[in-house]
């Protein structure tokens, strides 16, 4: 259940869901701020370590903007929750064209920056810093789930 | 995001704070690239930058290209660990001339520090080189772990090559390896800063492949590590040798480390494989060994009356100057709220609590935590009590009432000073089954006294 002062009018919060926190909004950067607040709110309430909050925030930025720019989607839903084994997950769903970003080849990061082709860095960053990522397409929706382990290092 | 610019002749310094992401990248670009003509040196101060996403990286790349095209140079300083990690992963680290004072010093000390040794076991001789991590070592490191622990090692992150590589690249952990002439990684260890501090370092995860046992590789390897640490800015080194063999304990003692306490029941042995004697303990423990390097005066500590003698002996052996604060002088009563943090290890069934500032609600908090994590089913708890705080005695008594007993010190020699207490829950502790060096036998004997006292008083 979520009741968030951080989530503002214009975005719709749907409480009933298996995820602990869920928010839907538009896929056109209009709702960026609302989503950003929501993500921070949810992660803070799940008591994640600071570094993992930052990683999730960056992941959200990369994935949400990809949807806005390239998918042709109208709506986006973001769900955030924590499993008993301290795995924190974030699911982004959109009603755009079927597209699996995990199939995009990784950029060659050993190449000099100035000679590299643009793009692809965002999803690469997400892939490298998450414990796991899964993609599914069902019911006319792209579903991308990213997971991070919040177990503290011993 | 907030940006401050300062121009001096041909040098432009730009301080960026907050977040650079998709919502702020456009403004970042405008501010950064807006006025670069005539600039030969662009210095980005990222000390206050919280995080950066790929949208921000694109802007940095543009700035880099612009500076290059006008024959200038761009460099970055002060980036935090997360930002450095992003740079490291994406290949920006090298190219942006990311400056790090600590790194420069380390590189200087490294030149002399690579160390090669001839080692022998009977008639068999090998040539080993000790050195810092290089790309590709992550797989050799993982092989060492699998060789000894198969897939049960408690530092789960070390099964992830990306983790090892990233931590090594952004230098939040220093990995050292022992490499044979055949380019095989025979063993490794980690130098792990205590809570982001570079002055207190844990020597951790010393693991060698079984086939290289008997060459006495560990001692010169540790010496190499110590040499690196002495050359840096380190004021104290500590390690947690396991108590199911005494090899590391003895080695570390020979290198000058002092035994200070025990962290009881950290590992669930039913979920850990290793190649040593098992004994009766279902959970296993670590000792604590410490060596003070730089800073000698650690200031005032507060000790519970019944352990003052034991604790001062330890501090005396560490060779640091300290003062034992008197409780009566500081009798201002405990503060209201306890400041503490905790972490649960679901895999090892272990709860660790750090009490930074004890308050009047400490006993309630401990009882509540024990109620939330019922100490059945193999759950055990270690509490670390900050003894820089004048309320040590009251806090110690509160912990005792909650069922904890004293197991020693974690004295980090200037950075933090902790007293350790343990609650074993339903787990039986067979201290006599530990493989303890003579020095650790003295510690376990003392801890046994504390544990038996807890039994007698029926606190457990």
* Average pLDDT score over residue span B185-191: 95
* Average pLDDT score over residue span B124-138: 90
* Average pLDDT score over residue span B271-279: 72
Residue B375's pLDDT is what? Answer: 63
Question: Is 90 exceeded by the pLDDT of residue A64?
Answer: yes
Residue B158's pLDDT is what? Answer: 92
Tell me which chain A residue has its CA closest to the CA of residue B85. Answer: A129
Residue A153's pLDDT is what? Answer: 58
Question: Is 80 exceeded by the pLDDT of residue B94?
Answer: no
* Average pLDDT score over residue span A40-68: 91
Tell me which of B379 and B369 has the higher pLDDT: B379
Positive or negative torsion for Cα B310, B313, B318, B320: positive
Residue B161's pLDDT is what? Answer: 86
A58/B65 CB distance under 8 A: no
B206 close to B240: Cβ distance less than 8 angstroms? no
Residue B97's pLDDT is what? Answer: 67
pLDDT-derived band of residue A134, with 50, 70 and 90 as boundaries? Answer: very high
A interface mutation test: which of B24, B26, B54 has the most A CBs within 10 A? B54
Tell me which chain A residue has its CA closest to the CA of residue B89. Answer: A125
Question: Is 80 exceeded by the pLDDT of residue B128?
Answer: yes
Tell me which chain B residue has its CA closest to the CA of residue A122. Answer: B54
Question: Is 70 exceeded by the pLDDT of residue A111?
Answer: yes
Tell me the chain A residues in contact with residue B68 when contact means C-beta distances shorter than 8 Å. Answer: 114
Residue A39's pLDDT is what? Answer: 95
Share of chain B above pLDDT 70, in %: 92
Q: What is the nearest CA distance from B160 to chain A, expressed in angstroms?
A: 9
Tell me which chain B residue has its CA closest to the CA of residue A131. Answer: B160
Question: Is 60 exceeded by the pLDDT of residue B99?
Answer: no
Q: Please identify among residues 86-145 of chain B the ones whose CB lies closer than 8 Å to any CB of chain A.
A: 86, 89-92, 95
Please, which residues have CB within 8 angstroms of residue B162's CB and are 6 or more apart in sequence?
A128
Tell me which chain B residue has its CA closest to the CA of residue A110. Answer: B91
* Average pLDDT score over residue span B287-300: 87
Q: Find the DSSP H helices in A14-150.
A: 32-45, 50-66, 121-129
Residue A152's pLDDT is what? Answer: 67
What is the per-residue pLDDT across B388-421, written as a single tens digit (0 to 9) for each?
988 899 999 999 998 899 999 999 887 789 999 9
Residue B108's pLDDT is what? Answer: 46
A103 close to A74: Cβ distance less than 8 angstroms? no
* Average pLDDT score over residue span B287-304: 88
pLDDT-derived band of residue B385, with 50, 70 and 90 as boundaries? Answer: very high
SS (H, E, C) B206-270: EEECHHHCCCCCHHHHHHHHHHHHHHCCCCEEEECCECCCCHHHHHHHHCCCEEEEEEEEEEEHH
Q: Which of B50, B92, B156 sits opposite A54 (nearest CB)?
A: B50
Tell me which chain A residue has its CA closest to the CA of residue B22. Answer: A61
B95/A112 CB distance under 8 A: yes
Least confident of A124-133, B301-310, B342-351, B388-397: B342-351
Question: Is 80 exceeded by the pLDDT of residue B333?
Answer: no
B90/A57 CB distance under 8 A: no
Question: Is 70 exceeded by the pLDDT of residue A145?
Answer: yes
What is the per-residue pLDDT across A8-26, written as a single tens digit (0 to 9) for each?
444 444 433 445 889 999 9
pLDDT-derived band of residue B443, with 50, 70 and 90 as boundaries? Answer: very high
Question: Is 60 exceeded by the pLDDT of residue B235?
Answer: yes
B277 close to B214: Cβ distance less than 8 angstroms? no
Residue B374's pLDDT is what? Answer: 63
Residue A112's pLDDT is what? Answer: 73
Tell me which chain A residue has its CA closest to the CA of residue B162. Answer: A128
Tell me which of B79 and A42 has the higher pLDDT: A42
Q: What is the nearest CA distance from B277 to chain A, expressed in angstroms?
A: 24
Pick from A138-147, B35-44, B134-143 the range whose average pLDDT is largest.
Answer: A138-147
Residue A65's pLDDT is what? Answer: 93
Tell me the chain B residues in contact with residue A30 when contact means C-beta distances shorter than 8 Å. Answer: none
Mean pLDDT of chain B: 87
Residue A100's pLDDT is what? Answer: 92
Q: Which of B21, B52, B95 sits opposite A113 (nearest CB)?
A: B95
Question: Is 60 exceeded by the pLDDT of residue A99?
Answer: yes
A114/B64 CB distance under 8 A: yes
Nearest residue to B168 (alpha-carbon basis) of B92, B236, B49, B84? B84
A154/B155 CB distance under 8 A: yes
Question: Is 80 exceeded by the pLDDT of residue B227?
Answer: yes
Q: Which of B53, B57, B68 sits opposite A114 (nearest CB)?
A: B68
Please, which residues have CB within 8 angstroms of residue B27's CB and are 6 or more apart in sequence?
B1, B3
Residue B420's pLDDT is what? Answer: 97
Q: Which of A61, A110, A114 sits opposite B53 (nearest CB)?
A: A61
Positive or negative torsion for Cα A91, A97, A99, A104: negative
Residue B327's pLDDT is what? Answer: 67
Q: What are phi and psi of B234, to 5 degrees?
A: -75, 135
A57/B51 CB distance under 8 A: yes
Residue B46 touches chain A, beta carbons under 8 Å: no
A109/B91 CB distance under 8 A: yes
B53/A125 CB distance under 8 A: yes
B89/A109 CB distance under 8 A: yes
- What predicted TM-score, i.e. pTM, was given to this entire model? 0.58
Q: What is the nearest CA distance from B253 to chain A, expressed in angstroms?
A: 23
- Strands ordered across the beta sheet of A132-138: A21-26, A75-82, A87-94, A141-149, A132-138
Q: What is the nearest CA distance from A122 to chain B, expressed in angstroms?
A: 5
Residue B332's pLDDT is what? Answer: 57
Q: How many helices (H) and strands (E) does chain A have?
A: 3, 5
Tell me which of A3 and A107 has the higher pLDDT: A107
Tell me which chain B residue has its CA closest to the CA of residue A64. Answer: B22
Residue B345 touches chain A, beta carbons under 8 Å: yes
């Amino acid at each position: 259940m979520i009741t968030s002062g951080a989530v503002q009018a214009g975005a719709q919060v749907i409480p009933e869901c298996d995820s602990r926190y869920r928010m839907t909004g538009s896929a056109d950067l209009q709702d960026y701020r609302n989503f950003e607040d929501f993500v921070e709110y949810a992660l803070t309430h799940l008591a994640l370590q600071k570094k993992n909050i930052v990683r999730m925030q960056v992941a959200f930025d990369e994935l949400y903007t990809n949807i806005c720019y390239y998918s042709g989607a109208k709506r986006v839903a973001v769900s955030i929750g924590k499993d008993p084994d301290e795995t924190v997950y974030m699911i982004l769903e959109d009603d755009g064209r079927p597209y699996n970003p995990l199939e995009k080849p990784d950029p060659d990061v050993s190449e000099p920056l100035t000679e590299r082709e643009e793009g692809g860095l965002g999803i690469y960053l997400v892939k490298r810093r998450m414990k796991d990522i899964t993609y599914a397409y069902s019911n006319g929706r792209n579903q991308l789930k990213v997971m991070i382990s919040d177990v503290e290092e011993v | 995001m907030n940006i401050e610019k300062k121009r001096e002749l041909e040098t432009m310094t730009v301080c960026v704070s907050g977040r650079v992401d998709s919502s702020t990248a456009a403004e970042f670009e405008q501010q950064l690239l807006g006025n670069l003509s005539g600039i030969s040196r662009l210095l980005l101060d990222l000390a206050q930058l919280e995080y950066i996403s790929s949208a921000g990286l694109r802007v940095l790349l543009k700035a880099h290209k612009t500076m290059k095209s006008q024959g200038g140079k761009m460099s970055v300083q002060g980036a935090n660990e997360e930002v450095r990690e992003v740079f490291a992963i994406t290949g920006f680290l090298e190219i942006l001339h990311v400056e790090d004072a600590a790194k420069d010093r380390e590189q200087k000390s490294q030149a002399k520090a690579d160390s090669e040794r001839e080692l022998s076991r009977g008639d068999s001789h090998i040539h080993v080189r000790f050195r810092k991590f290089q790309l590709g070592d992550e797989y050799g490191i993982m092989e060492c772990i699998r060789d000894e622990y198969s897939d049960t090692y408690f530092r789960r992150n070390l099964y992830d090559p990306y983790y090892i590589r990233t931590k090594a690249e952004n230098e939040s952990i220093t990995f050292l390896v022992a490499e044979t002439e055949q380019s095989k990684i025979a063993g490794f260890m980690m130098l792990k800063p205590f809570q982001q501090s570079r002055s207190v370092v844990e020597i951790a995860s010393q693991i060698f492949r079984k086939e290289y046992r008997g060459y006495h590789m560990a001692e010169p390897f540790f010496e190499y590590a110590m040499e690196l640490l002495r050359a840096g800015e380190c004021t104290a080194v500590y390690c947690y040798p396991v108590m199911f063999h005494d090899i590391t304990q003895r080695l570390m003692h020979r290198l000058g480390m002092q035994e200070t306490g025990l962290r009881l029941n950290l590992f669930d042995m039913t979920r850990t494989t290793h190649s040593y004697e098992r004994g009766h303990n279902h959970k296993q423990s670590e000792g604590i060994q410490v060596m003070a390097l730089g800073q000698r005066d650690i200031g005032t500590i507060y000790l519970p009356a019944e352990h003052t003698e034991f604790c001062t002996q330890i501090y005396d052996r560490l060779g640091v100057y300290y003062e034992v604060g008197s409780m009566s002088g500081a009798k201002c009563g405990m503060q209201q709220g306890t400041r503490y943090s905790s972490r649960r290890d679901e895999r090892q069934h272990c709860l660790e609590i750090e009490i930074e500032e004890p308050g009047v609600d400490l006993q309630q908090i401990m009882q509540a935590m024990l109620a939330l994590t019922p100490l059945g089913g193999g759950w055990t708890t270690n509490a670390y009590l900050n003894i820089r705080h004048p309320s040590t005695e009251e806090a110690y008594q509160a912990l005792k009432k909650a069922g904890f007993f004293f197991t020693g010190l974690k004295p980090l020699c200037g950075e933090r000073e902790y007293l350790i207490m343990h609650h074993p829950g339903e787990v039986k502790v067979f201290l006599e089954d530990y493989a303890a060096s003579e020095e650790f036998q003295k510690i376990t004997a003392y801890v046994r006294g504390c544990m038996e006292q807890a039994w007698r008083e029926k606190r457990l």
